[in-house]
Amino acid sequence: MGCRTFTMTRPTSLSRICLLLIASIALTGSAFAQSRHFTMSAVGDVMLDRAVGSAIARNGTNSILAKVRDHLRRSDVRFCNLECPLSSRGAHAPHDCVFRADPSTVRVLTDGGFNIVSVANNHTLNCGARSFLDTLDILDRFGIKYAGGRRDKVHSWWPAYVRAGGMVLGFMAYTDLSFDSGAWNKVSPDLSNLKREVALSRRQCDLLVVSFHWGEEYQSVPSERQRKVARAAIDAGAGLILGHHPHVLEGLAAYKGAPILYSMGNFVFDQQQGVKMQSSIFDLRYDESRGWDIVATPVTIHGPRFGPDYPPADTAREIAGRLRKLSAKVGTYPQLTKDNTLWLQVKTHTAVAAPAAAGSGR
Ligand SMILES: [Zn+2]
């Protein structure tokens, strides 16, 4: 009987174990299968006027991003800040920083494969509303989505949506600058519009990206205001913050599982050499179950071509090393790789429930 029991129960136990194993493998497999992911390349300011405009007229629209287009196009999503209107109407005084690029320069953006741009910065309205609307027309015609501006000012905060890896990504863009010129979509001093609009937009997408044109020019450490705005946006639902305007790199940070790229520097610009012309391409990979992997690949911009290029190894190491130090100043410690890139992982944030006593009064 004992022997019979043994022979009867052993296969049953084994079967159970096997079934459990199969089930767990199947569940794990399906969890992986269901873990959606996408890649994005994000870069900073793209200005297509002044000496860049002359370079385009001389060498053609495909000359500017010739060295990096293949790199950018490998990603599902390509983002930049478009730092000039594209129009043939309105004021034009490029040497006084009143930018207006020829509409044909939109082909620089299509050459790089950019599919989403920010139109919320201090140059968006350089030539008035008419040329801003021309810019939106051209972007529409070439299939490039934009965030931070609409045809009616009141709806300028509305997100643009991009599909990637089976996910709907929302993109919003704001300026947060102390001077008065600039875009229609601005962060209010008390952040109330930002918090409300981000929370509303978050419900419409799987992941919300918020771009800010903010901070102080040529400052490599973010201001208190930048930090406060970033945290407020993430608290309201943003999953990634893309910053620009200082024209130099600022550190990579993270808050509640959301990366903050405080300033991505210049990408296509004609400023003087030095740190203003040293930048990076930020390649981000997002996986729903794991979070973010971010790789910053150093680039430099040189006249007279004024397009980004990969620098020699010692310069690349210097740029990546500087970005690492700047990141340490905002609390993160990315890894310098042997390829002279900088790598940062930001794990998906798991909210820890507040103790009942602490939470009860909220
Ligand atoms: Zn700016």
CATH number for the domain that contains residue 47 = 3.60.21.10
Domain annotation covers residue 313? yes
Q: What share of the chain in percent tops pLDDT 90?
A: 76
Which range of 274-278, 288-292, 352-356 scores highest in mean pLDDT? It is 288-292
* pLDDT at site 6: 33
Going across the sheet that includes 160-164, the strands are 160-164, 167-176, 207-214, 240-244, 258-261, 252-255
- pLDDT, tens digit (0-9, with 9 covering 90-100), for 258-269: 999 999 999 999
Q: How many residues does the chain have?
A: 362
d(CA 187, CA 175): 6
Lowest mean pLDDT among 188-192, 285-289, 303-307: 303-307
118 alpha carbon to ligand 1 midpoint, in Å?
11
Cα(183) to ligand 1 centroid in Å equals 11
Q: How many domains does the chain have?
A: 1
In this structure, how many other beta carbons lie within 10 angstroms of the beta carbon of residue 256?
Answer: 14
**Tokens for 181?**
């010129």
Q: How confident is the model at residue 92 (pLDDT cuts 50, 70, 90)?
A: confident
DSSP 8-state secondary structure symbol assigned to residue 355: P
Which amino acid belongs to residue 19? L
Report residue 199 as tokens. 């929370």
d(CA 29, CA 37): 15
φ, ψ of residue 203 in degrees (nearest 5): -70, -15
Residue at 6 is within a domain: no
Query: Omega before 85 cis (within 30°)?
Result: no
In the reported structure, the alpha carbon of residue 126 is separated from the centroid of ligand 1 by a whole-number distance in angstroms of 11
CA of 122 to the centre of ligand 1 (A): 5
Mean pLDDT of the chain: 88
Tell whether 195 is covered by a domain: yes
Query: Per the domain annotation, does 7 fall within a domain?
Result: no
Q: Tell whether 1 is covered by a domain.
A: no
Residue 64 alpha carbon to ligand 1 centre in Å = 20
Residue with tokens 């390509």: 78
Q: Give the containing element (helix H, strand E) for 78.
A: strand 77-82
Separation of 180 CA from ligand 1 center, angstroms? 12
The whole-angstrom distance between residue 271's C-alpha and the CA centroid of its chain comes to 22
pLDDT score recorded for residue 127: 84
Residue 246 Cα to ligand 1 midpoint, Å, equals 7
Give strand pairing partners of 221: none
User: Ligand 1: distance of its center to the CA of 149 in Å?
Assistant: 15
Say if 279 falls within a structural domain.
yes
DSSP reduced 3-state for 300: strand
Per-residue pLDDT of 229-250, as tens digits, reads: 999 999 999 999 999 999 999 9
Q: What is the mean pLDDT of residues 86-108?
A: 90
Cα–ligand 1 centroid distance for 121 (angstroms): 6
The per-residue pLDDT for 4 is: 37
**pLDDT in the model for residue 180:** 64
- Quote the ligand 1 centre to 12 CA distance (angstroms): 70
Distance 130 CA to ligand 1 centre (A): 20
Which of 81, 119, 66, 127 lies closest to 102, judged by CA?
127
Domain carrying residue 126: 37-347
Residue 299 lies in a domain: yes
What is the mean pLDDT of the segment spanning 322-336? 97
* pLDDT of res. 80: 98
What is the per-residue pLDDT for 98?
84
Q: What is the mean pLDDT of residues 169-182?
A: 86
Query: Is 358 inside any structural domain?
Result: no
Q: How far is the CA of 267 from the centre of ligand 1 (A)?
A: 12
pLDDT tens string 40-50 = 999 999 999 99
Tell me what the mean pLDDT of segment 103-108 comes to.
97
- Record the tokens describing residue 189, joined without a space: 């001093």
335 Cα: distance to centroid of ligand 1 (angstroms):
29
How much distance in Å is there from the Cα of 287 to the middle of ligand 1? 31
User: Measured in angstroms, how far is the CA atom of residue 139 from the centroid of ligand 1?
Assistant: 20
Ligand 1 centre distance from Cα of residue 116 (Å): 18
Which helix (H) or strand (E) element contains residue 234? helix 224-236
- What pLDDT does residue 349 have? 76
Residue 123 Cα to ligand 1 midpoint, Å, equals: 7
**Centroid of ligand 1 to alpha carbon of 304 (angstroms):** 22
